[in-house]
Every structure is written in C-alpha cells, then in structure tokens.
C-alpha cells in the first residue's frame, strides 16, 4: 500500500493568521496519526508564512509515524534539518518568494550541489528524496547524486488529468519504471486529490508515498479531518 503523509502547512497557515496557537499543530499531528495518517510532512519556507522553523524540533519529538521535512536546502534549512534529523528530507528547488513548489530539480545542472548536500544529510542517517519533474534524464541524475528516493511533481498531471488522464500520467509511468530499475524509491506530491489519486497510484509502478496537504485540508472543511484521511487512504488501497 502507498503511504499517506499529511502535509500540515495549511493548518500552520491558519494558526499564523491570528498570531495564536489555534489550531495547535502538535494536537493536529497527534490527531492525524490517530486517524490513520502514515506520515507527517512540513515545508518551512524562509518567510515562515505557514510552517515555522521553530515547529520542527517540537514536532520531531512527537511524530510517531514518519516525519518528512521539505524545503530548499539553503544554509538555514540544512542547519535545521541536520540538528533535528527527520526520517526523510525532501529537497525542493523553490525560490524564497515562491507561492508554492512548481518544478523539480535539474539533477544534471545541479549535480555537484546535490551530491554534496545529500551526502551531509545521509551522514546523519536521513533518507533523502529529491523533487523531480518526471523526465528520465533527471531520474538518472538523481541516482548519480546519491538520492534514496525521488518525489514526482504532480502539478502538471493534475491539470491535464481533467481532460486527458492517460496522457497526463504517461511520463510519470515511464519515469517511475526507470526509477524502480535504478533502485530509487518513488514518492509523489502536489495537487493530488480524491478525484485523481487512485488513477495516479494505479498507473505509477512502485509508488511508496504521497504527500498531500492543500487538497486534504480543503476536503476536511466539508468531511472532517478523520473522515477525510480515511477517504484518502481508501484511494491508496
């Protein structure tokens, strides 16, 4: 079964909007895990508009499933991760002022930087995943820089899925097949939702984990958090 990691950035965004601790991120983590979430993801950005750097040490202590920290590996982010080793660190090449992550690494252009960064993380026993567009050349590059896993950016898939599902997933299927042959684990995330998740999972070989935040939290407004997590898990079975 593909694992569901719940991204709690949107919950942190709501908390920050009032300058108080409501909702309490610690309690939400505990509840998500009790409702069936198999992992927790946070993506602290430099402006800390949702997840804060100060959230990481606190949540690392209470996550009982799997803790995944995402982010652009600038010096401050790397220091945070190395000092608070999660189970997995997902490297994402987003600009500091990016609204959301919208593209993956060029693992050829940034070969040396990624190789050095990944080595530092793996020295701490952290599994490293890198955010990729589903292109075979970038998958091959991910293997060469020492990544343990790749996370496919699924934003373009989600947009095209509405009109041409088969074509939307084709490049992901091909790239995942190559990743499996190379011994790379396959994760995915961005704009996956209740409508497209099962189709994606059924067409991407060896999909180990999906990280879902925006859609899941939006659905929870209607269905409730516990019901929503169960609905997403049902799509992955």
- Annotated active-site residue 151? The verdict is no
- Annotated active-site residue 190? The verdict is yes
Separation between Cα atoms, residue 217 and residue 211, nearest integer Å: 12
| Integer CA distances (angstroms), 18 to 89, 120, 207, in order | 29, 37, 38
- Residue among 70, 151, 156, 172 flagged as catalytic: 70
What tokens does 218 get? 């939006």
By 3-state DSSP, what share of the chain in percent is helix, strand and coil, each rounded to 5? 50, 15, 35
- Residue among 33, 43, 151, 172 flagged as catalytic: 43
- Annotated active-site residue 203? The verdict is no
DSSP 196: T
Q: In this structure, how many other beta carbons lie within 10 angstroms of the beta carbon of residue 119?
A: 12
Q: In this structure, how many other beta carbons lie within 10 angstroms of the beta carbon of residue 20?
A: 9
Separation between Cα atoms, residue 229 and residue 62, nearest integer Å: 19
Q: At which residue do the structure tokens 């898939």 appear? A: 157
- Residue among 33, 151, 190, 209 flagged as catalytic: 190
Catalytic residues: 43, 70, 190
């Amino acid at each position: 079964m593909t694992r569901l990691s719940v991204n709690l950035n949107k919950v942190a965004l709501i908390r920050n909007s009032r300058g108080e601790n409501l909702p309490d991120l610690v309690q939400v983590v505990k509840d998500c895990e009790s409702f069936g979430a198999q992992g927790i993801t946070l993506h602290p950005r430099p402006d800390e508009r949702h997840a804060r750097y100060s959230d990481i040490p606190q949540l690392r202590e209470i996550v009982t499933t799997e803790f995944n920290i995402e982010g652009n590996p600038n010096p401050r982010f790397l220091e945070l991760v190395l000092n608070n080793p999660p189970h997995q660190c997902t490297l994402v090449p987003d600009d500091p002022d990016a609204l959301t992550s919208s593209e993956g690494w060029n693992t050829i252009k940034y070969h040396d930087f990624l190789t050095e960064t990944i080595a530092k993380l793996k020295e701490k026993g952290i599994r490293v995943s890198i955010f990729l567009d589903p292109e075979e050349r970038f998958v091959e590059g991910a293997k060469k820089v020492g990544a343990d896993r790749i996370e496919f950016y699924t934003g373009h898939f989600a947009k095209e899925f509405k009109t041409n599902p088969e074509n939307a997933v084709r490049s992901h299927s091909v790239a995942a097949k190559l990743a499996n042959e190379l011994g790379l684990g396959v994760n995915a995330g961005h704009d996956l939702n209740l409508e497209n998740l099962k189709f994606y999972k059924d067409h991407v070989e060896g999909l180990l984990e999906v990280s879902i935040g925006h859609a899941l939290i939006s659905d929870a407004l209607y269905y409730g958090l516990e019901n929503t997590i169960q609905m997403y898990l049902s799509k992955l079975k």
